[in-house]
Structure 1
Amino acid sequence: MSKTIVLIHGAWLNSKSWEGFKARYEAQGYTVVAPDWPYDDRDPADLRADPDPALKSLSQRQIIAHYAAIIRDLPEEPILIGHSLGGVFVQHLLDMGLGVAGVAIDPAPTPGVPLGPSAIWSALPVLGDPFSWLKAKTMSRGYFKNRFAQTAPKDQADALYDRYIIPTPGRVYWNGVVGKIKINWKNPHRAPLLLIGGEIDLIADASMTRAIYKKQLQAPSITEYKEFPGRSHWTGIDAGWEQVADYALGWAVGHARPGKIATISKAA
């Protein structure tokens, strides 16, 4: 059984968002790797104050290739756990033959699956700006409080924003509309996959996660869906995050295929 876990963050966050999961899994004896996206490897306050100019041109293909290279260099095949856009990347990496099991928590819009109404509304601040393709965007505090982390205590919202939120390239949103990277839903070699939805997620509707699940059922590998009631997109940090972390890891450990040395396809 693999004792290595790779945590993959989504847009607007970097690896700091995994600090709870990482410490919890390490306490259980796992080696936990939580890489940043390229150009995200600084403290969130520093990134907001002075984002790397290269961030604005970062694409989904580059991020997937970045994680694929890290995974290939590990001494054993890992469990992959991703949140939001990181949950989409988990699906792509599994489709490439990487990982012994994958968990996609509140996955962002995934190629081949219609956007849910909340996902459409939540994407407007980026896609409503036709020049965001060439920009690094910063989430507003109001958006954070009312949509991204609407379940966080209001008196803590500003401190949470300051601790975790970073700029994100508008290009990764547009990549979901233009030049999509397709997933082979019927891939016979894809490792087991768990999709986790949040009942009141306003960024990645639970209905959209269920639709992704139905697509992924076309593969012969084990594929399951779990929905947590009363949980928002902020589920990995919000009160009760331990329940999500434990369920994700317990499922992955219980369903992981044996690790193997494989011929891995190159990043799309």
Structure 2
Amino acid sequence: MSDVVQWEREEVAAANASGKPVVVFVHGLWLLSSSWTPWRELFEASGYATIAPGWPDDPPSVEVARADPDVFAHKMVQQVTDHYLAAISELTARPAVVGHSFGGLIAQKIAGEGASVATVTIDNAPFRGVLPLPASSLKSAAPVLGNPANRNRAIALTFEQFCFGWANNLDEAEARQLYEDYHVAASGVPLFQAAVANFNPFHNEVTVNVKNPDRGPLLVIAGANDTTVPLAITRATYRQQAKNPGVTEIVEIADRGHSLTIDHGWPEVARVALDFIRRFHH
């Protein structure tokens, strides 16, 4: 695991030593792996071991991330996927994988490699073959896609941009708290990769192997009011994944936006994911 840092190695070693089934959590843009801490506590209380690797070179805390945001630049989808696959390869048994946003796309790439026993993808970024481009999704991506030079930069959202793309179902006080507690800059490249995926006739980094018979069961969780990843995208994700011979399901959760994994309603979402994983990974 040459690209996996010491704390990630320690998490893998502890998960292996526990003898419990393992769940891997994959975060997306504008968050760190620490955003999964409440989920991990819930899953661990339910009998699982968990690991939550960061993206390559992720800072250890929000404070450090804000002091040196440029560290996030240039992170590409396949590079991040390979980082998670490297960690998973050191586990003694295939884990379940849970991912949100671009982490949901990466979770599906991991599943397409046959590396997970069950997968939950939450408000995932679109991959090649997912065709809808809703206006609200384009608006939420505009702070990055609006300037081609952002491809090579790390971009932070303003609070107003965060409110539109993430916190549109929350009151201002909670939105402000989430922004202060969780928001960090993010690599611009993945958004450009996703934006052009369907214009590239050849394999690209946002391609998912939806037909691999070793993909395992997969659940798509959709926040019904998400402006960043609207229902058109999550439903199209489900239609693509339903081509797989394995179990493929979708759950749409009313009145939830892109912040559904970190806001006050996260337990409802986490329990949907946990109930699905329990059916196939115990």
Task: Tell me if TM exceeds 0.5.
Answer: yes
* Pair 1:6-2:31 in alignment: no
More helix, by proportion: 2
SS at match of 2:115: coil
Whichever residue aligns with residue 112 of structure 2, its letter is: D
Q: TM-score, normalised by structure 1?
A: 0.90
SS at match of 2:222: strand
Assess if the C-alpha contact under 8 Å between 2:193 and 2:205 holds in 1. Answer: yes
Partner Cα distance (1:162, 1:108) in 2: 23
Identity of aligned residues (%): 36
RMSD of aligned C-alpha atoms? 1.7
Compute the displacement of 1:195 (Å).
0.3
* Pair 1:72-2:89 in alignment: yes
**Structure number with higher relative contact order (C-alpha < 8 Å, ≥ 6 residues apart):** 1
Q: How does 1:74-93 map to 2 (within 5 A)?
A: 74-93=91-110
Whichever residue aligns with residue 219 of structure 1, its letter is: N
Q: How does 1:58-207 map to 2 (within 5 A)?
A: 58-114=75-131, 115-176=133-194, 177=196, 179-207=204-232
Structure 1 unmatched runs, 5+: 259-268
Partner Cα distance (2:70, 2:23) in 1: 28
* Pair 1:56-2:41 in alignment: no
Assess if the C-alpha contact under 8 Å between 1:149 and 1:232 holds in 2. Answer: yes
For the structure 1 residues 202 and 181, does the alpha-carbon distance in structure 2 shift closer, same or farther, using more than 3 Å as the test? closer
Assess if the C-alpha contact under 8 Å between 2:113 and 2:209 holds in 1. Answer: no
Structure 2 unmatched runs, 5+: 1-18, 198-203
Assess if the C-alpha contact under 8 Å between 2:122 and 2:222 holds in 1. Answer: yes
Aligned equivalent of 2:278: 253
Deviates more, 1:113-122 or 1:234-243: 113-122
Assess if the C-alpha contact under 8 Å between 2:140 and 2:164 holds in 1. Answer: no
How many residue pairs match? The answer is 256
Assess if the C-alpha contact under 8 Å between 1:138 and 1:167 holds in 2. Answer: yes
Q: TM-score, normalised by structure 2?
A: 0.86
* Candidates 252, 266, 280, aligned match of 1:241: 266
Aligned equivalent of 1:217: 242
Whichever residue aligns with residue 255 of structure 2, its letter is: G
Partner Cα distance (1:149, 1:223) in 2: 28
Whichever residue aligns with residue 182 of structure 2, its letter is: Y
For the structure 1 residues 187 and 19, does the alpha-carbon distance in structure 2 shift closer, same or farther, using more than 3 Å as the test? same
Partner Cα distance (1:74, 1:120) in 2: 38
SS at match of 2:260: coil
For the structure 1 residues 89 and 122, does the alpha-carbon distance in structure 2 shift closer, same or farther, using more than 3 Å as the test? same
What stretches of structure 1 move > 3 A for 4+ residues in a row?
178-181
